[in-house]
Every structure is written in C-alpha cells, then in structure tokens.
Amino acid sequence: MSGGRSLGQKLSAGRRLLQRMFEDGRIPSQSKALVIDSFRMSLRDALAPTVANFLPPRGGPTSRNVKTSRSGWRRWVTAEVDELSTHELQHQMATSVVGILNESDIDTFVIASDGFHLEFGIPADSRGVAYSALQKLDELETWYIRWKRGSRTGVKRLTTRRRRVLRRAETWIVFRQFQDRQGEVIGEKHGPLFSFWASSAHDRLEKVGVRGLHRIPIGEARTEESIDGHPYRGTSSFSVGKALLRFESPIDVVYTWVDGADPQWRAKKAQWSSSASDVIIDSADDSRFRSHNELKYSLRSLHRYAGWVNRIFIVTDGQKPDWLIEDDRLQIVSHSEIFPKDWLPTFNSHSIESRLHHIDGLSEHFLYFNDDMFLGCPVIPETFFTANGIPYFFEGDARVSPVSTAATLGVDAAALNGRHLLTEKFGGVVDRKLLHSPYALTRSMLMEIEKEFSAQFTLTGSSRFRSPSDLSIPSAFAHHYAFCVGRALPGFISTKYVNLENQILRQYLRQIRFNQYQTFCINETEVSANLLRADQDLIFFLNGYFPQQSPWEKRTNV
C-alpha cells in the first residue's frame, strides 16, 4: 500500500503529518477522510462476505444452479449485463413491467422521471390484480419488489405468497438485479416506481399516502408521453416528456487528447520548442503529454453512466487511438479543422481549448472533458445544466494566486489573467479555481466571450506552448464571465482529484472505488519517481472500475 516508499520516506511523511496535527490542532481533513474510509472499507471487506454468505439471498432460498451476487451485506439473484448503460436500463425494466400490466388491462400512467428511474400511477383498487400480473415476470427471470408503507419498507421476490403487505403498500419498486463485469450489482435504483391512486370527493383521484397533495380528475384523457425517445401511456396532468423542469436539449461531449509517445509528434514538438520564447516553465514537461489510455476508460464511463449524451468529439493533432472506432456518435476532429493554419502546430492545451466552440456541428450545450476525467456513477443532464439550459460550474478550495513570478505554473498564470480581466470589467474578484470535473458550457457564450476579448483569444490561440499571457477559457474564465452576466450558476458535484505521483496512490484509488463519486480525475503533473508502479496501479484500477468495453472500441477479450 505504500507505493514502494523506503522506511525513511515513511517516517518523514509521518513526521510531517504529526507536525500538521500539532499546528492545526486536528488531523488534516483529507487525511482524516482517508483514514475513516480505509477503516470502513476494511470492515466491509472483512465482514460483508461472511454475513452475506450466512444470510439467505434476498427473496428467499434459491436452487444451487442460480447465480447470486453480493451487494453490500446481502446476496441477490442476478442476471448478467454487459454493454447496457444505466440510462437505458431504466427504460428496459420500465418497458417490461408496464407492458405486463397493460396486457392485463391495468390502467398505468407515467407520473415523473428524475433521470434515474420512472414513476407510474395505478388505481389503488387494482393492486391485487397488478401484483398477480407482475408475477408472470418471475416465471423465467428473477424479479424483486420493494414495498413502502409509512416508515416501513422491505424487499420480496415477485413470487412471494405474502401479498397482504404488498396490497396495503403506498409504493412499489419493481426491478431485476444485474451483475456487471466488475462485480457491481445494479438494478434497484433504476427500477420503475409505482404509486397508487384512490377515488375521493369531487370526482378526483388522490395519491395514497399523501392525500390532498396529489390530485387528478377521474376519467382524465390519456396521452402518450415520449421520454428519451421511449413511448409511455400518460395523462394530461403529468406532461413528463415535456416537463418544464426537465432538460431536453441535446448535450454533446468534447475531449482533448494527444498521444505523447508518437515519434512524429515528439519530433515536431522538439523542433518547435527549441525556438520557442516567452513560455511557461512547465509548458513542455513530458508528464503533460503522457497517455495511459485514460481516454478509453473515460469513454467507457461516459457510455455506462451518461447514456443520454448526444455526440462525442475528440480533438487531436491529426492523431487517432489505434483501438478507437468512429461512428455517427463519435468523431475525431483535427486541429486543422478549428485553427487558423498559421497558428499550427500547437502544443498548448489553453490554445486548443480556446478553439473548441469552432467545432462544426457542435451542439449549443456541451460538456468539456479532459481525457483524465471520469464518471464514477450515473449522472443526469440536470447534474450539469439547469432545466432552462444554464450551466453549473463547480468551484473547489484551491485559491487563485494573486501574483505571478518566473516560477508560476501555466494553470496559475492563466487563472490570474482571467481574474484581472473580470475584475476590470465587473469589479468582482475570482478567488477560487474550478474543480477538475467535466465543464458545462454553451457555444453561444464562448462565441460572445471571443468577440468581447478578441485580443486575449488571439494571444492564447496563437501560443504554441503555454505562455504567461494565456487564458484557461472553457475550464475557468468562461464560467466566471457567464456568472457575472447571469448565465451560469455555482453548483455542487461529488468529485475526487488524485495526482498519479501520489505516494499512497493505491489508497486513494481504493477510496474512489468505495465512494463512487459522480466524477473523478487522475492527473499527472510531474513524472512519478515510481513511474512503472504508478502506471500498473492506474491500469489495474481502471480495468476493474470500467471493464465493459464502449461501442467505440475494437472488440477484444479484455
């Protein structure tokens, strides 16, 4: 777990930690979180398998030839799922369950969609018939039902004979459990939820459990609601497909990527760097351009946890990963397609970022990913945009340095330049950097900023290497500018940032897997002293977290 550190290095790190504890009067928050998570992970790993093997699988005993998988402290009967995204999984289960009910002439109508699962209404006096109909699902496949009544809840197999509690429940969630190739059990969070509606005074139906809060007219005309392209029977009281607070516009994703090991690219970089002047100290560091195939795994995370994404653009210097397949949804964009010819070649990420909004066919709303950013669990469009299309930005605790020196890194110089420009125009001061999470952007805002600050855009775009005059436009400046003009909002996202050269990298990677943050970033800012071990640890982790190949990979046995 130590990443190969010597005894002296360990003792030195321990002394520094004790010194910080003495000065601060407490354990540093990051260290405290890691210690607590390590304890919880160790406890779970030691006890959960034993407890799960001791207790019967959820839903009762099973035959020996049935596959069971552990999730937390219990086992479930599971099926296998391979390349299906969680976004499509919710519709797959909803279509199966609602289809069975409709075949039995049970009046179902879709009520809501939160991006993770769908909610449907059923007449309360149809609960018994509905449950009998649903048992047909369990004839060939194992299905579960989670019931809730007041503060009580429980899970049963659909074949259970104890029906009384189900007929008196306020809600059901009907679902299957699946095990993916990484061993994770998924299903319940994406299964359709059913609420029950009973007749009341004034020819109304009221939702059982919250009477007086949810009412609709009896006999209201039925509609057909289209949700993510899937048709469901609805009612005019619940316009789910066109709900005002649901974001419906297409969202594209843009990546920037470089193969720093390409001999031709390296020769070109060496040629231009020898004559470059007025560049940032870290502008040509090899660590900035090394690839660990992060892009492959980031695409896997995108497909798995954000199946709603429209199109994907990968911006490169005429390069293409040898494992990548382009299709109608994914396209390689060369620098030559978005840059003036005399600005190329460029080896400056700030320069490349300044031209992303010139991608032909890019949607108005898009997410910008570095190739070392990943999704760690299901996310929805509203994670990044308000329902009316305003982007969220996510600030961290890192401060923008107020001064620039010869030793200032490129990211800090660009942040300081943006701070000066915004203070001059609006008076406010940007004091925090953004988190290393996907950046939500609008194309029109970037076009507006380019027109407003054309000189700064030209300086940044034409700088072949990181320069003291750069702006970090789509990863910082654009968000704060948009906030100042009322077209961006601060938001929250659960995320984790880890340096690849961290001496306890394995522990931080384990913490990411345990907590399943919405996003995480594994960044390399300098060449690790134990490069081989760090590379091995990273690839082992990414293969374990994202074993399912995406549709954009050449098929392998991995």
Distances (CA, A) of 184 to 69, 70, 128, 247: 8, 8, 33, 29
Helix (H, G, I), strand (E, B) or coil at 497: strand
Residue 407 lies in a domain: yes
Residue 474 lies in a domain: yes
Residue 555 lies in a domain: no
- Say what the pLDDT of residue 423 is: 93
Please give the full DSSP string across 61-87, using - where no structure is assigned: ---TTS-EEEETTEEEE-EE--S--HH
Residue 256 lies in a domain: yes
Q: Quick one: tokens of 210?
A: 């919250």
Residue 62 lies in a domain: no
Residue 554 lies in a domain: no
Closest CA to 111 of 167, 218, 193, 176: 193
Question: Do 427 and 292 reside in the same domain of the chain?
Answer: yes
Please give the full DSSP string across 186-228, using - where no structure is assigned: E-GGGSPEEEEEEEETTTEEEETTSTTTSEEETTPPEEEEEET
Helix (H, G, I), strand (E, B) or coil at 138: helix
Q: What would the pLDDT profile of 218-270 be if each residue is shown by its tens digit?
A: 878 888 999 988 999 998 888 888 888 889 899 999 999 998 888 898 888 88
Question: Do 368 and 508 reside in the same domain of the chain?
Answer: yes
Question: Do 90 and 189 reside in the same domain of the chain?
Answer: yes
Pair 389, 312: CB distance under 8 Å: no
Computed from CA positions of residues 289, 292, 293, 297, in that sequence, does the dihedral angle turn out positive or negative?
A: negative
**100-117 per-residue burial string, b: 16 or more CB within 10 A, e: under 16:** bbeeeebebbbbbbebeb
- Bridge partners for 370 per DSSP: 256
Pair 134, 158: CB distance under 8 Å: yes
- Say what the pLDDT of residue 168 is: 83
- Say what the pLDDT of residue 41 is: 82
Structural domain that includes position 38: 7-54
Q: In this structure, are strands 365-370 and 251-256 parallel, antiparallel, or unpaired?
A: parallel
Last residue of a domain, one of 203, 235, 267: 235
Question: Do 155 and 297 reside in the same domain of the chain?
Answer: no
Q: Establish whether the linkage from the previous residue to 345 is cis, with ω within 30° of 0.
A: yes
Helix (H) or strand (E) holding 395: strand 395-399
Query: Alpha-carbon dihedral of residues 446, 452, 458, 463, nearest 10 degrees?
Result: -60
- Say what the pLDDT of residue 246 is: 87
Helix (H) or strand (E) holding 48: helix 29-54
CA atoms of 496 and 516, how far apart (whole Å): 10
Helix-, strand-, coil-residue percentages of the chain, each rounded to 5: 35, 20, 40
Q: Quick one: tokens of 9?
A: 């290095």
Q: Domains in the chain: how many in total?
A: 3
Residue 66 lies in a domain: no
Pair 348, 360: CB distance under 8 Å: no
Q: Establish whether the linkage from the previous residue to 547 is cis, with ω within 30° of 0.
A: no
Question: Do 284 and 401 reside in the same domain of the chain?
Answer: yes
What distance lies between CA 41 and its chain's CA centroid?
Answer: 22
Question: Do 382 and 439 reside in the same domain of the chain?
Answer: yes
Pair 460, 471: CB distance under 8 Å: yes
Question: Do 26 and 123 reside in the same domain of the chain?
Answer: no
- Say what the pLDDT of residue 175 is: 94
- Say what the pLDDT of residue 548 is: 86
Q: What would the pLDDT profile of 477-528 be if each residue is shown by its tens digit?
A: 999 999 999 999 999 999 999 988 888 888 899 999 888 999 999 987 665 5
Last residue of a domain, one of 206, 235, 264: 235
Question: Do 370 and 512 reside in the same domain of the chain?
Answer: yes
Question: Do 276 and 332 reside in the same domain of the chain?
Answer: yes
Question: Do 205 and 268 reside in the same domain of the chain?
Answer: no
CA atoms of 443 and 251, how far apart (whole Å): 11
CA atoms of 273 and 277, how far apart (whole Å): 8
Residue 108 lies in a domain: yes
- Residue carrying structure tokens 């199109």: 311
Q: Kindly calculate the radius of gyration of the chain based on its CA atoms and give it in whole angstroms.
A: 27
Last residue of a domain, one of 172, 201, 235: 235
**CATH number, domain with residue 397:** 3.90.550.10
Amino acid letter at 512?
Answer: I
Q: Quick one: tokens of 523?
A: 């960044």
Is this model's pTM higher than 0.75 or not?
yes
Question: Do 128 and 85 reside in the same domain of the chain?
Answer: yes
Question: Do 396 and 329 reside in the same domain of the chain?
Answer: yes
**197-215 per-residue burial string, b: 16 or more CB within 10 A, e: under 16:** beeeeeeebbbbeeeeebe
Conformational region of residue 196, where left means phi above 0, alpha means psi within -120 to 50, and beta covers everything else: beta
- Say what the pLDDT of residue 2 is: 40
**CATH number, domain with residue 135:** 3.30.460
Average pLDDT, 10 consecutive residues per value, the chain (558 residues): 57 70 66 80 83 77 68 82 82 94 92 91 90 87 89 85 78 90 82 90 80 76 88 88 87 94 87 70 54 90 95 95 94 96 93 96 97 95 96 90 63 86 92 93 97 95 89 94 96 93 86 92 72 85 90 78
Closest CA to 348 of 393, 425, 289: 289
